């Protein structure tokens, strides 16, 4: 498309209308806040996403659009996650090295984390500059969170957040060629809730054909993930707040009031149940998502790269026991997580001085990923497994490879805002080169490289630390404790 716009603000056509981006000093171009669906307000608040109305004037896409996040997630994540006010939260950002039609570059679509209740695609940790440098177009998407995105409502479509992800991927299919990307070379990726989103999309038939590969970073899904559990969450909301769990009753409430209702769901049950962290999350509704992720994912044929950090939710060093102060209490938690006495004894032997966060790390992240790799290997589905072991030096986190620490390495953004505070001084650039390089190779070639073989009979697992290496069956104890 020929444009009279200044060279530093290229204009690109989309199916709904033209958008103006911003050329960066590194030569890449970014287009921010492009709507892929109408604002989910009024009658659309709990509806499936609806395509934006067309526009004819050039849409300025040089600033991040509104975010569905209305407040930060808390201390779980160290990622800077700005909250941008506004209604048009169903928007996405495109970072491209060449906004030239039909350049045919591979595309990485990024889904942010935040426990399905928070997070922001406007984070400086999700900047696409390094991917652009290496010939990859990056797209980051926003989506509905919490009650609006995931609470089961009998008078509204289920899994509205999942429908948002699919709508964004359909936008990519229909428009990314204009930005230099190839719609047939899309990889979908995400971390934490975003990693769970990737797994959910792999289990969703209507998402098939929208991407050819997937990366799940510390992916987490609701457990159990059935419709009955989701319906029980709605009943719990009503029992605790007196507000009917229906779209009709919730549609007119303010954002602040919805957050209050969401808080009520997060409160501990009278019996002290601590396992309700992901009550607002994708679930197998029997329609859009026909089967729970653990059942469906082994059959997904697209290449999958997945893994976790070594410590995920372990307690900060200065806090000590992470709420579990003695062995009896920890044994009780392990029992609630499904381990018998033998399994609990083996866990304690493998993790001397362990606390509740160590158990949750195994239960929520490590064991499900290993189980998935095992099941896919049996079916000869291409799968690559890793554990991120490098430990930062940030105060309170020294010696830990905790939740989110791997993202600045994957995005090769070790100098981004907030990285030094989260990781400590001088994280190794050589590790960023290795992790980011493996991601680029996977997005481009559907294989992270010859040095990292697929997970199979030898259970090859990449260990990401200062000297990355592949080990064979390093997670045997996880398998024997949690998957026996």
Residue 12: the pLDDT is 97
- Which of 240-254, 255-269, 341-355 shows the lowest per-residue confidence on average (mean pLDDT)? 255-269
| Distance, CA of 302 to CA of 344 (rounded, Å) | 35
pLDDT at residue 323 is higher than 50: no
Regarding predicted confidence, which is higher, 150 or 314?
Answer: 150
Which candidate, 162, 193, 449, places its Cα nearest to that of 305?
Answer: 449
Residue 274: the pLDDT is 36
| Distance, CA of 461 to CA of 201 (rounded, Å) | 24
Which candidate, 113, 64, 68, places its Cα nearest to that of 93?
Answer: 64
9 is catalytic: no
CA-CA-CA-CA torsion for 455, 458, 461, 466, nearest 10 degrees?
-140
| Distance, CA of 262 to CA of 278 (rounded, Å) | 11
Residue 74: which pLDDT band, with cuts at 50, 70 and 90? low
Residue 397: which pLDDT band, with cuts at 50, 70 and 90? confident
CA 466 to the chain's CA centroid: 25
pLDDT at residue 320 is higher than 70: no
Residue 185: the pLDDT is 98
Tokens of 305: 């790269």
Residue 269: which pLDDT band, with cuts at 50, 70 and 90? low
pLDDT at residue 267 is higher than 70: yes
- Mean pLDDT score, 7-31: 94
216 is catalytic: no
| Distance, CA of 469 to CA of 476 (rounded, Å) | 17
Triad 253, 157, 173: Cα angle to 5°: 110
Tokens of 213: 């590969």
pLDDT at residue 416 is higher than 70: yes
DSSP assignments along 234-278, one per residue: HHHHHHHHS--SSHHHHTTS-HHHHHHHHHHHHSPPTT-----TT
192 is catalytic: yes
Global pTM? 0.95
Q: How many CB atoms lie within 10 A of CB 439?
A: 25
Residue 277: the pLDDT is 63
Local structure of 212: helix, strand or coil: coil
Calculate the alpha carbon distances from 451 to 91, 243, 428, 461, 466 in Å: 37, 55, 20, 11, 16
Percent of the chain with pLDDT over 90: 84
DSSP assignments along 320-345, one per residue: -STT--SHHHHHHHHHHTT--HHHHH
Fold of 11-225+279-482: Rossmann fold (3.40.50)
Tokens of 182: 């190839």
Sheet holding 22-23, edge to edge: 22-23, 29-35, 91-96, 137-141, 105-111, 181-191, 213-217, 304-309, 383-388, 460-464, 469-472
Residue 6: which pLDDT band, with cuts at 50, 70 and 90? very low
pLDDT at residue 318 is higher than 60: no
Point out the catalytic residue in the list 140, 192, 218, 391. Answer: 192
Point out the catalytic residue in the list 112, 152, 311, 403. Answer: 403
Percent of the chain with pLDDT over 70: 93
- Which of the 8 DSSP states describes residue 179? G
| Distance, CA of 467 to CA of 454 (rounded, Å) | 20
| Distance, CA of 111 to CA of 214 (rounded, Å) | 11
Point out the catalytic residue in the list 81, 148, 170, 312. Answer: 312
> What residue segments make up the domains of the chain, in order of their start?
11-225+279-482, 228-266
């Amino acid at each position: 498309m020929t444009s009279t716009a200044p060279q530093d603000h290229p204009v690109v056509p989309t199916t709904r209308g033209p958008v103006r981006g911003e050329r960066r000093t590194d030569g890449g171009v970014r287009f921010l806040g492009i709507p892929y669906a109408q604002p989910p307000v009024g009658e659309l608040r709990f509806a499936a996403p609806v395509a934006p109305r067309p526009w004819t004037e050039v849409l300025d896409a040089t600033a991040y659009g509104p975010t569905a996040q209305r407040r930060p997630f808390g201390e779980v994540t160290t990622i800077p996650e700005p909250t941008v006010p506004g209604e048009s939260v169903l928007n996405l950002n495109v970072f491209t090295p060449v906004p030239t039609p039909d350049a045919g570059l591979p595309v990485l679509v990024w889904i942010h984390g935040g426990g399905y209740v928070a997070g922001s695609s406007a984070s400086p940790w999700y900047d696409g500059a390094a991917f652009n440098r290496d010939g990859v177009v990056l797209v980051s998407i926003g989506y509905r969170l919490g009650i609006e995105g995931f609470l089961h409502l009998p008078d509204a479509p289920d899994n509205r957040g999942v429908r948002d992800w699919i709508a964004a991927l359909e936008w990519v299919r229909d428009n990314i060629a204009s930005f230099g990307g190839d719609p047939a070379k899309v990889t979908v990726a995400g971390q934490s809730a975003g990693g769970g989103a990737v797994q959910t999309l792999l289990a969703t038939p209507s998402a098939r054909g929208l991407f050819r590969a997937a990366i799940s970073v510390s992916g987490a899904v609701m457990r159990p993930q059935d419709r009955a559990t989701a319906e029980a969450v709605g009943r719990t909301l009503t029992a605790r707040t007196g507000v009917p769990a229906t779209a009709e009753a919730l549609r007119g409430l303010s954002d602040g009031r919805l957050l209050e209702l969401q808080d009520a769901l997060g409160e501990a049950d009278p019996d002290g149940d601590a396992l309700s962290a992901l009550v607002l999350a994708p679930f197998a509704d029997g329609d859009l998502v026909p089967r729970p992720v653990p059942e469906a994912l082994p059959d997904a044929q697209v290449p999958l790269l997945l893994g976790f950090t070594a410590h995920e939710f372990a307690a900060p060093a200065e806090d000590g026991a992470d709420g579990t102060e003695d062995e009896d209490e920890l044994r009780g938690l392990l029992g609630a997580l499904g381990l018998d006495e033998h399994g609990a004894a083996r866990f304690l032997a493998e993790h001397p001085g362990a606390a509740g966060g160590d158990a949750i790390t195994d239960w929520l992240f490590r064991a499900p990923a290993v189980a998935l790799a095992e099941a896919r290997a049996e079916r000869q589905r291409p799968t690559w497994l890793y554990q991120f072991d490098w430990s930062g030096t940030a105060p309170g986190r020294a010696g830990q490879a905790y939740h989110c620490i791997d993202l600045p390495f994957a995005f090769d953004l070790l100098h981004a805002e907030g990285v030094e505070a989260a990781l400590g001084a001088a994280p190794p650039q050589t590790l960023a080169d290795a992790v980011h390089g493996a991601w680029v190779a996977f997005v481009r070639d559907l294989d992270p490289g010859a040095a990292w073989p697929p997970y199979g009979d030898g259970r090859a697992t990449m260990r990401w630390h200062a000297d990355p290496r592949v080990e064979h069956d390093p997670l045997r104890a996880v398998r024997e404790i949690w998957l026996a």
